[in-house]
Amino acid sequence: MRSSGWAAVVITAGTAVAQPVAMDGLLDEWATVPLAATDATGDASGPLDVTGLRVRSAGTTLWLQFDLANVTGLQAGAPGEATLRVRIRTGTREVLIDTRGRAAFIDGSTTATPWATLDFVAQPTVASSRFEMRVDLAAIGATAGAMCQVSLEGADSLANTVMHQLGPAEPAPAPRPLTRPANGALRVVSLNTLVTGLTNPTRRPALLRLIDSVDADVYCFQEEYNSTREQIVTALAQADPRENGLPWNVIKTGELVLASQRTLVAVPFSARYQGAVVRADPSIPGSRDILVINNHMSCCGYPGDPSDAARITQSTDAAAVFMQFRAGTLSGEFAPFAQVPAIVVGDWNLVGTSTPTDIWAGAPGLRRQLTPHLTRGDAWTWRSNSGLDFWPGALDIVMVDISRTLVLNAFALDTVRLDAATLSGAGLLATDSSASDHLLIVTDLADSAACDDIDFNNNEVFPEDQDVVDFFDVLAGATCAPCNDIDFNNNDVFPEDQDVIDFFNVLAGGDC
């Protein structure tokens, strides 16, 4: 609805946020937040047709959640489509967010403000009919308790300006540990090194510190265009993340690199994908083989454009190879590995539709695994080197075969927000993550069949109340057909105290 903007107001309560909004694009936290404003469908110029707006705050941080009438991209769309602008005022100062213009402006300036100045991010990065946005109004002198005004203009507007009182500041959540679980974990890392970063003399030291700090078993790199396999081997040996001096096995497929000290069996995939079976470590009791798939799909674009279509084709072709692998028909040499756990990582460049991840989620057991930052629930994995144009986005995606393995931990490493003690303990500098425009992504998987069947009812939802009920039913002597592996430590003694300890360790997100 078009309006003159500032005459009428909708008053919303400036209540404190129970916990900061996790900027992950899932929008679960908004379920209990009432609408601050509604707007009619079909009154917008183009697809950015806002139908509802919700507001939350804590201290100087303001979160907005938009409902749209259409599934569309917030940052980019077809040429000629109108942009949506969000104007936020407090006192005599203001921030203007131009979504399709991909720029923020303070106090009417025509010079764009870097996104980091406003701690700005919006999710999801893909096309959606619902988006959430965060902006820190400290940049315009706001304080907790101040009144702010929110209005929309451009593609759509609200009949009334939304007035919101900033709630009291909330304590920051405790950071999660960087270190890998004490035992039972296979750590897989993905990192786009930004145009052959591992041989770039300026950025190489920081990248090697990042590689060393996470102590991974498997490394997947993207954009190593001009490096050789031998140079990658040398870089990993220099970093020595496992601190054992053992040699590294490396597969290089164009710009894609897959490396491990474990034996690798290369699996041929389609364009923009590579894969390998990472063999079990014979020195670790119960260790298993795992299929690791690495990708770097076509860049850029918007929903429905040629780049989006290319990503869909690339994912369709690769997922078809994966299904042949699962069926044991890809090649006789891979048939023995047909049912091993699988993980798909890499730079998906997911700025159009969500179809590429939807395709992979259609494979039996595969689900997307969020990789939030260690210090808060942000899910972005990439940001522009200039801090301008596109705001931080979730381009690096992890898909895990949750029917065959358990995720013990998953995160994106942003050194800027780590405290001095954590940085020092990990041998990192606060600036190390800036060696690439992508963050390093870590996924810890159970490396033992002992953890396979803790999802007792096999509905691929764990943990849930029914899993706990099933566990204690079996402890009490009940029969549970899918519960054959609840003897977590595989010592053929069940039930015993250790099984209960292991169960609750896993329930709490630990290892088993």
CATH entry, 9-165, from 3.40.50, 2.20.25, 1.10.3470, 2.60.40: 2.60.40
Q: Supply 227's token pair.
A: 């490096």
- Rounded distance between C-alpha atoms, residue 44 and residue 469, angstroms: 51
* pLDDT bucket at 488, cuts 50 / 70 / 90: very low
* Residue range 94-117: mean pLDDT, rounded: 98
Instruction: Identify which of 177-181, 374-378, 432-436 has the greatest average pLDDT.
Output: 432-436
- Rounded distance between C-alpha atoms, residue 22 and residue 343, angstroms: 24
**Percent of the chain residues topping a pLDDT of 90:** 76
Q: Which residues pair with 413 in a beta bridge?
A: 440
Q: Is the pLDDT of residue 462 over 60?
A: no
* Residue range 485-502: mean pLDDT, rounded: 54
Give the pLDDT confidence of 134-171 residue by residue, as tens digits: 999 999 999 999 999 999 999 999 999 999 999 999 88
List the one residue out of 278, 324, 272 whose CA is nearest residue 298.
Answer: 272
* pLDDT bucket at 17, cuts 50 / 70 / 90: very low
Same CATH fold, 185-451 and 9-165?
no
CATH architecture under which domain 185-451 falls: 4-Layer Sandwich (3.60)
**Pair 237, 247: CB distance under 8 Å:** yes
The predicted pLDDT at position 408 comes to 85
**Pair 319, 362: CB distance under 8 Å:** yes
pTM for this model (two decimals): 0.87
- Rounded distance between C-alpha atoms, residue 399 and residue 365, angstroms: 10
Give the pLDDT confidence of 336-389 residue by residue, as tens digits: 999 999 999 999 999 999 999 999 999 988 999 999 999 988 999 999 999 999
Beta strands in 46-180 (DSSP E): 50-58, 61-72, 84-90, 93-98, 103-106, 121-123, 128-136, 147-154, 161-165
**Residue 284 vs residues 200, 288, 393, 448: alpha-carbon distances, Å:** 36, 9, 37, 9
Strands 342-347 and 290-296, by their bridges, are parallel
The predicted pLDDT at position 496 comes to 58
* Residue range 242-248: mean pLDDT, rounded: 96
Q: Supply 384's token pair.
A: 């522009």
* pLDDT bucket at 490, cuts 50 / 70 / 90: very low
- Residue 438 sits at the vertex; the CA angle it makes with 437 and 444, to the nearest 5 degrees, is 160
- Rounded distance between C-alpha atoms, residue 50 and residue 41, angstroms: 7
In the chain, where the domains are located: 9-165, 185-451, 465-507
* pLDDT bucket at 449, cuts 50 / 70 / 90: low
- Rounded distance between C-alpha atoms, residue 334 and residue 319, angstroms: 16
The predicted pLDDT at position 406 comes to 84
* pLDDT bucket at 123, cuts 50 / 70 / 90: very high
List the one residue out of 359, 364, 315, 313 whose CA is nearest residue 338.
Answer: 364
- Token match 């992950």: residue? 24
CA 417 to chain centre: 17
Kindly report which listed range (15-19, 351-355, 393-397, 398-402) carries the lowest average pLDDT score: 15-19
- Rounded distance between C-alpha atoms, residue 325 and residue 210, angstroms: 33
**Percent of the chain residues topping a pLDDT of 70:** 85
If DSSP states are collapsed to H, E and C, what string results for 256-277? EEEEECCCEEEECCCCCEEEEE
Give the pLDDT confidence of 284-308 residue by residue, as tens digits: 888 999 999 999 999 999 999 999 9
Give the chain's radius of gyration (CA, Å): 24
* pLDDT bucket at 454, cuts 50 / 70 / 90: low
The predicted pLDDT at position 12 comes to 32
* Residue range 249-259: mean pLDDT, rounded: 98
Q: Is the pLDDT of residue 460 over 60?
A: no
- Rounded distance between C-alpha atoms, residue 436 and residue 384, angstroms: 10
**Pair 159, 100: CB distance under 8 Å:** no
Backbone φ, ψ for residue 145 (5° rounding): 90, -10
- In single-letter form, the type of residue at position 180 comes to R
If DSSP states are collapsed to H, E and C, what string results for 15-42? CCCCCCCCCCCCCHHHCCCCCCEECCCC
- Containing 318, the helix (H) or strand (E) segment is helix 306-327
Q: What 3-state class would DSSP assign to 221?
A: strand
